């Protein structure tokens, strides 16, 4: 069965530090890739997505992600985090235009 | 703005009770989903529906059933609640195809005693 792995369970950073959250997925043909974010007390919302084209995609709030097909990866990055980025981040992959698989999530804590 | 609402934010039920979780979306989306979210496990798909009266099992359908009588409403039913069904339940919808962007409701935190 297809699976999505997020390498870090909990990441703690200070404000202005750079962020990279890893996401790898198992091979399964055509994929669409997503990062969702869940801020404390709020519902999941889309951060960014990749369907095709430029493998470097930009999302809301200064986040970006790079699709590296040869590595089956879709890592999330932000050059300088803010306290308001404290949230849980989920990588998701849809395979062959079918169901969506979510990773286990990475909790990000940004210290002011 | 897409709006997905869930009937309750918090529920406390007893083992063996029948539990109904309701979800409504207001954007005429074709697809609707029920997930459960557990720490360290992420989101796991319970059931989804791509049309009225249609349903498909997800990864963990055991102990659950669903109902979609109207396009905008998707219900999750726990026929006989058990303590291992204590979890956060999330409803989502997407416009046409399941692999498109999904829009999530606020979640229902269910505690089964």
Distance CA B17, CA A42 (A): 28
CA angle in degrees (0–180, nearest 5) for B48-B53-B58 = 20
CB pairs under 8 A between A and B: 50
CA angle in degrees (0–180, nearest 5) for B55-B42-B85 = 65
Q: Looking at residue A95, what is its pLDDT?
A: 80
Per-residue pLDDT of chain A (112 residues; tens, 9 = 90+): 678 999 889 999 999 999 999 999 997 788 899 999 999 989 899 999 998 899 999 999 999 999 999 999 999 999 999 999 999 999 999 887 667 889 999 999 999 8
Q: Are A3 and A25 in contact (CB under 8 A)?
A: yes
Task: Write down the residue that tokens 């303590």 correspond to.
Answer: B83
Residues of chain A found within 8 Å of residue B93, distances taken between Cβ atoms:
none
Q: Looking at residue B100, what is its pLDDT?
A: 78
Q: Which residues contact B39 (CB under 8 A, 6 or more apart)?
A: none
Q: Chain B residues contacting A, CB < 8 Å?
A: 4, 35, 40-45, 48, 58, 90, 92, 97-102, 104-107
CA angle in degrees (0–180, nearest 5) for B26-B97-B22 = 40
Q: Looking at residue B98, what is its pLDDT?
A: 59
Q: Looking at residue B107, what is its pLDDT?
A: 95
- pLDDT 10s digits, B30-53: 999 999 999 889 999 999 998 898
Is B44 close to A9, i.e. CB distance below 8 A?
no
Min Cα distance B69 → chain A (Å) is: 22
- pLDDT 10s digits, B52-83: 989 999 989 999 999 999 999 999 999 999 99
Q: Looking at residue B101, what is its pLDDT?
A: 85
Residues of chain B found within 8 Å of residue A60, distances taken between Cβ atoms:
none
Q: Looking at residue B21, what is its pLDDT?
A: 97
Min Cα distance A16 → chain B (Å) is: 27
Min Cα distance B108 → chain A (Å) is: 11
Q: What is the mean pLDDT of residues B104-109?
A: 95
């Amino acid at each position: 069965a297809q699976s999505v792995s997020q390498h870090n369970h909990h990441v703690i950073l200070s404000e202005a530090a750079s962020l990279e959250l890893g996401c790898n997925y198992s091979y399964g043909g055509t994929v669409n890739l997503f990062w969702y974010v869940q801020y404390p007390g709020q519902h999941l919302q889309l951060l960014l997505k990749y369907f095709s084209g430029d493998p470097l995609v930009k999302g809301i709030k200064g986040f970006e992600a790079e699709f590296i097909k040869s590595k089956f990866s879709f890592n999330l990055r932000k050059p300088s985090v803010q306290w308001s980025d404290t949230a849980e981040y989920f990588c998701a992959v849809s395979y062959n235009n079918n169901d969506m698989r979510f990773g286990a999530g990475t909790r990000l804590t940004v210290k002011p | 703005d897409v709006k997905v609402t869930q009937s309750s934010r918090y529920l406390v039920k007893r083992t063996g009770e029948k539990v109904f979780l309701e979800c409504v979306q207001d954007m005429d989306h074709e697809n609707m989903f029920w997930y459960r979210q557990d720490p360290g496990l992420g989101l796991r798909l319970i059931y989804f529906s791509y049309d009225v009266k249609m349903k498909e099992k997800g990864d963990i359908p055991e102990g659950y059933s669903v109902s979609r009588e109207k396009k905008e409403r998707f219900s999750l039913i726990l026929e006989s609640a058990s303590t291992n069904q204590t979890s956060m339940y999330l409803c989502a919808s997407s416009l046409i195809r399941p692999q498109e962007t999904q829009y999530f409701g606020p979640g229902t935190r269910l505690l089964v005693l």
